[in-house]
Amino acid sequence: MEAYCYCRGPDDGTAMIQCDICTGWFHLRCTGLSEDQAELMDSFACRNCIQKKKEELVAQNINLSSGPDPCEVKASRDK
């Protein structure tokens, strides 16, 4: 039996939604979405993919901020 969702449970016949990023399937009850809300959505990203994206953005920001301060560089050129 294949496991799905955050709960790692099976497809039990209840409403599910597919993540547009990882293509995993999630029970609506586990996502906190109602069927009406899910029907109105154009796309869905699971919390795992959202967290991964946040971590990527934080890592990019750290990489960008590890260089010299642009204000200090400008000040040293103005001298």
List phi, psi (to 5°) of 15: -60, 140
| pLDDT: which is higher, 33 or 69 | 33
**Cα(7)–Cα(30) distance, rounded to whole angstroms?**
7
Alpha carbon distance 76, 67 (integer Å): 15
Model confidence at 70: pLDDT above 90? no
How do residues 8-55 score in pLDDT, each as one tens digit? 999 999 999 999 999 999 999 999 999 999 999 999 999 999 999 999
| Class of residue 5 by CB neighbours under 10 A (exposed 0-12, middle 13-18, buried 19+) | buried
pTM: 0.70
